Chains A and B, each alone.
Chain A
Amino acid sequence: DTGVSQNPRHKITKRGQNVTFRCDPISEHNRLYWYRQTLGQGPEFLTYFQNEAQLEKSRLLSDRFSAERPKGSFSTLEIQRTEQGDSAMYLCASSSYGTGDTDTQYFGPGTRLTVL
């Protein structure tokens, strides 16, 4: 068990560019979550998948944001036409459902996005 991994760890981009982040959950975890954390704040929920189905989306997830989990394993979060307000730490978490330690979300190290 290597834990939740996220790539890249850091991303610097110019305003208006598109960026994509990847999250690999703990193996056999069927639930996957994306959160965003800005400086001085707690993480804010963006979206959640159970297997490949996206079951919850926050109002924070504007039209410029899209998340996928095509095969129920890794997930990608894409931000189109980035804005300076998108600068934040993007956290991924995973949990199991139905077996083992349900309800506990385990977080990855995060991807820090800086939009210039």
Chain B
Amino acid sequence: AQSVAQPEDQVNVAEGNPLTVKCTYSVSGNPYLFWYVQYPNRGLQFLLKYITGDNLVKGSYGFEAEFNKSQTSFHLKKPSALVSDSALYFCAVRPLNTGFQKLVFGTGTRLLVSP
């Protein structure tokens, strides 16, 4: 069965500092991995995904994520945080090369960027 763990309920960082939001996953076979962001009372907004290829994936708004197969991790990073990055971040996984399309999400990590 697939699962995603986001070990931190909240991450606090000062504006201008680098940020990392952690994600580890469990899936049979190779994974598709995704990061989404959710602002209050809004749906999920796609940030980036990993399917194959380069382990470092670049996405929207300066975010990037690094796929580490040996550690089964897909941590989200940004070199310099903005106050406007404050939101709820979700990691999601689904297995590659199966007929199943559903995404399995983590419980989310709230990012708070202070001025």
Name the A residues within 8 Å of B108 (CB-CB): 40-42
Cβ-closest chain A residue relative to B108: A42
Q: Do A56 and B46 touch across chains, with their CB atoms under 8 A apart?
A: no
B43 touches A105 (CB 8 A): no
The answer to whether B90 and A104 touch across the interface, beta carbons within 8 angstroms, is: no
Q: Mark B4-44, 1 if CB is under 8 A from A, else 0.
A: 10000000000000000000000000001010100001111
Q: Judge whether B102 and A41 touch: CB under 8 Å.
A: no
The reply to whether A91 and B101 form a contact with Cβ atoms under 8 Å apart is no
Segment from A43-51, A64-72, A78-86 that makes contact with B = A43-51
Interface residues on A, range: 20 to 34
Out of B41, B99, B100, B106, which one reaches A42, CB within 8 Å?
B106
Contacts of A110 in B (CB 8 A): 42-43
Number of A-B contacts (CB under 8 A): 57
Q: Are B90 and A33 in contact (CB under 8 A)?
A: no
Beyond A40-B107, A42-B107, A43-B90, whether A31 also contacts B101 by CB under 8 A is yes
One of A4, A48, A55, A104 near B43 (C-beta < 8 A): A4
Contacts of A21 in B (CB 8 A): none
Residues of A contacting B46 with CB < 8 Å? 104-107
Interfacial residues of chain A within 2-26, with CB under 8 A of chain B in the complex: 4, 6
Q: Is A27's beta carbon under 8 Å from chain B? A: no
The 5 closest A-B pairs by CB, nearest first: A42-B105, A45-B102, A107-B43, A107-B44, A109-B43
The interface of chain A, by Cβ under 8 A from chain B, is 4, 6, 31, 33, 35, 40-45, 48, 55-56, 58, 91, 93, 103-110, 112
Enumerate 16 A-B pairs (CB-CB under 8 Å) in ascending A order.
A35-B103, A42-B4, A42-B105, A42-B106, A48-B101, A55-B101, A58-B102, A103-B32, A103-B51, A104-B34, A104-B46, A105-B46, A107-B44, A107-B45, A109-B42, A110-B43
